[in-house]
Amino acid sequence: MSKLSREEALSLARRALPSFAIAGDAEIAFVKHRENVVFRVADPRGCYALRIHRHGHRTDEQVRTENAYVVALHETGFPVPEIIRSRDGDLFAVVRDDQGTAHQVDVQWWVQDSTPLGNADHALVGQDNPDVGIFEQLGDLCGRFHRVSRQIGRIHGYSRDPWDADALVGPSPLWGDPRGLAGSAADRALIESAMDSIRRVLANLGTGSEVYGVIHSDFSPENVLTVRGDLTLIDFDDFGEGWWLFDIATVLFWYHRHPRAQEYKGALLAAYERHMEIPETARAALDALVLARGLTYLGWASDRPEVETSAFLRAEALPAVLELCRKFLDASTHTKETPMTDRDSELLARRAKTIGPYSPLFYDRPRHFVAGERVWLTDADGQRYLDAYNNVPQVGHANPRVADAVSRQLSTYNVHTRYLSEPVIDYAEELLATFDEPLDRVYFTNSGSEANELALRIARHRTGRSGVIVTDHSYHGNTISLAALTTGLPVSEPFGEHVRVISIPDLDSEQAADPDQLLGRAFAQVDAAIASLQEDGHGLAALLIEPAFSTEGLPRLPEPYLAGLTERIHAAGGLVISDEVQVGLGRLGDVWWGHQATGINPDLVTLGKPLGNGYPMGGVITSEEVLDDFSSANLYFNTFAGTPAAAASGRAVLGEIKDRDLVSRTGDLGRHVEARLGAIAAKHKNVGAAKGRGLFFGLALVDERGQANAPLAKNIVEALLRENILISRIGPHDNVLKIRPPLVIEKNELDSVIDALEAALHAEAPEGVERV
């Protein structure tokens, strides 16, 4: 903290002006007074940011290094302020006060019409709710910065303290000792244990160039300015060498308690990785770096007890960091994970060099599977895992009936639909027989993405309009037009001007709300979306939804919602597209299709993944009227969709489901699961609600305040993995456990999944168990 009073600093700033050829009568306005004192200065030439460095905090070489680095960044075109040299050509000036004490002063052009991208203090206490796009911007800027700084490296005359393990969690940390802020001996011991554990993680991570280089080290939203959509990175006061991900960790620390923390993290990392690859070893160390970042703030406050900011850090940051310490140490204690084998590490490296490092992988340590049977997968080490997640093998892994049918057909012949082929028509007839009137026609495709793309084409042709309504956390495929309406994961394509977004009402997450008011607000959103599309000249072509809204977290809807939603779409002349890639083929139990289970009357139903039990195929189901209208004007043809081999896989899947009565059986199993999950939800405070239907189910996990608890959900997923059970998580906040096994799972296998789930809940969140 600068010891200068504001008046002393102002006098010193005035003395410094001639050193930078700034008019002596320039206007000077105070900006901030923390480590350094910053003024905004204006004269006829323009506006400047003038900084007086804290006396004795940096050597001349360190100040010169900082500004020289900013100059080097600016010369590459990276968005940083432009440094103004002193009259003698140096990057700062030494100015003496009335007592003859020398102070370092530097100047840069003021970034005009700018505002900080966010407020870290507000983030920690939950007083802001930034859009996920903010984190995409931060990740992109950070990735670009690291890419450039990696090229620049250590500039000539480099002199800065590194942000290595000693600086973060060593005996004398760079920003001060966090243990000094501990309010009790127990808290001090907790912090010491966490520091020891972090040092071990960082020692294993190492300081190779792929994980370590010149970083900003205070990369918070406050130090990123936005000017009409463009970003500028400021305040390099603490820059130096450190782990690349420490800059990311800075953002994550301030937002780690936010209900959308996992969504923000995903957007941040995805945008960052467009520019900088994150090695798996670094990704595994990210939690340690986030905690290390939090500890540095405690150290800063401990060294500066008189500062107002320190009072905030003691009141708000200290409890948050202690909580992180406990979770980090608990995770270290509970982790039974074995290190990745050399074989798998080599395979991972080969994967990155071929299909790239951006293709997502499940789990902290990816699993390498080599065989499957029914609901079981076997890894390369011979370990068997109960697969309670994958719906592609709808009737079981390596189903012999499907495999044999495809093999026989491929050994016979395989042509496309420009030739007459009996197996394709047999399959089409059997598939359409599971639908209700008027859905009696099918287009075959290769995938769910292709099916949704075709459905949108049909809707636009049928209506003569382009507007589409989707939900606020959805994903329907990988094509350009589908990327333009994706709201549930990061994409680089701009969001479509012809797309409007609605939120799905969830009685579980809004229990305090009156159901009628909740329903009214939801319908008002739909009406507004339709009106907006009409006013902007797009009109309404289609509503594209999944009838169970699984990506949205399996919400519990007010009963009249879906009927009212589809009525409004049809009244506006739009078509309803039911995306059943995940929820079709009996997944929800008792009926074949998701729209039948939920009461939607769609104009088009899109299918994918499970149709062929792993053989790539999809489809669009519609009516004779719609097909005749579209196909009479558009020649639709697909080389690999609707081949006899694809039809063989599809018929085999239908045969398995019918012969084993899997639709009714799934309904019965689903009711058993519902009862068990309901009992868990009733007695565990960290379970907000049981979710789902049939064999698509889960639990919504919350914290003590009833807010989405993504970290707990992640811990549960990893805990079940250690028990050789595969599940995942979904929802806007990544806090809903996603359990979706092949339909051939047995009741005792389901019970073992739920038993393991309940045990993991008790182990990971023991404080949430009700005492009865």
CA distance 570 to 590: 27
Cβ contact 715:721 at 8 Å: no
In DSSP notation, 170-236 reads SSS-TT--GGGG-SSHHHHHHHHHHHHHHHHHHHHH---TTTEEEE-S---GGGEEEETTEEEE---
Distance between CA atoms of residues 193 and 200, nearest Å: 11
Burial annotation 3-33 (CB, 10 A radius, 16+ → b, else e): ebeeebbbebbbbbbebbebeeebebeeeeb
Spell out the residues 6+ positions from residue 524 whose beta carbon is closer than 8 angstroms to its own.
Answer: none
Q: How far apart are CA 654 and CA 607, in angstroms?
A: 14
What's the Rg (C-alpha) of the chain?
A: 30
Phi and psi at residue 213, in whole multiples of 5°? -175, -160
Q: In this predicted structure, what is the pLDDT of residue 23?
A: 93
Q: H-type helices in 237-385, by residue range?
A: 244-255, 261-272, 280-284, 286-303, 308-312, 318-334, 342-354
Q: Nearest-CA neighbor of 581 among 453, 409, 416, 713?
A: 453
Nearest alpha carbon to residue 491 among 472, 478, 501, 473: 478
CA nearest neighbour of 697 among 678, 673, 719, 723 = 673
Please work out, in degrees rounded to the nearest 5, the angle formed at the alpha carbon of residue 164 by the alpha carbons of 160 and 170: 115
198-247 pLDDT tens trace: 988 888 788 888 899 999 999 988 899 998 889 999 999 999 999 999 99
Helices 400-412 and 644-659 sit at what angle, rounded to 10 degrees?
A: 150
Residue 333 is predicted with a pLDDT of: 59
Report pLDDT for 666: 97
Q: Which H helix or E strand runs over 34?
A: none
Instruction: Please report the pLDDT score of residue 290 as a whole number.
Output: 96
pTM over 0.75: no
> 606 CB contacts (<8 Å, ≥6 apart)?
448, 451, 452, 454, 455, 577, 578, 579, 580, 581, 618, 619, 620, 621
Instruction: State which residues of the chain have pLDDT below 50.
Output: 1, 512, 771-772
Specify the 3-state DSSP secondary structure of 162. coil
Asked if residues 444 and 431 have their Cβ atoms less than 8 Å apart, the reply is no
Q: Which two tokens stand for residue 314?
A: 């003691």
Q: Which residue has the tokens 């940390």?
A: 173
- Contact in structure between 474 and 499 (CB atoms under 8 Å): no
Under a CB-based contact definition with an 8 Å cutoff, are residues 649 and 615 in contact?
Answer: yes
Taking each helix axis from N to C terminus, what angle separates 286-303 and 318-334, rounded to the nearest 10 degrees? 150
- Candidates 200, 274, 210; CA nearest to 245 is 210
Give the integer Cα–Cα distance in Å for 675 and 672. 5
Q: Quote the DSSP letter at residue 397.
A: B
Asked if 617 and 650 count as a contact pair (C-beta separation under 8 A), the reply is yes
Residue 120's identity, in one-letter code, is: A
Say which residue the tokens 């300015």 belong to: 225
> Up-side HSE of residue 33: CA atoms within 13 Å toward CB?
13
| Burial letters 441-468, b for 16+ CB under 10 A, else e | bbbbbbbbbbbbbbbbbbbbebbebbbb
Burial class (CB in 10 A: 0-12, 13-18, 19+), 207: middle
CB count, 10 Å around CB of 62?
17
Question: What CA–CA distance (Å, rounded) separates 284 from 265?
Answer: 14
Pairing of strands 575-579, 540-545: parallel
Whole-angstrom distance, CA of residue 285 vs CA of residue 278: 11
**Separation CA 725–CA 389 (nearest Å):** 9
Q: What is the structure's pLDDT at 336?
A: 52
Alpha-carbon span 255 to 125, nearest angstrom: 9
Q: Measuring CA to CA, which residue among 461, 472, 417, 436 is closest to residue 641?
A: 417
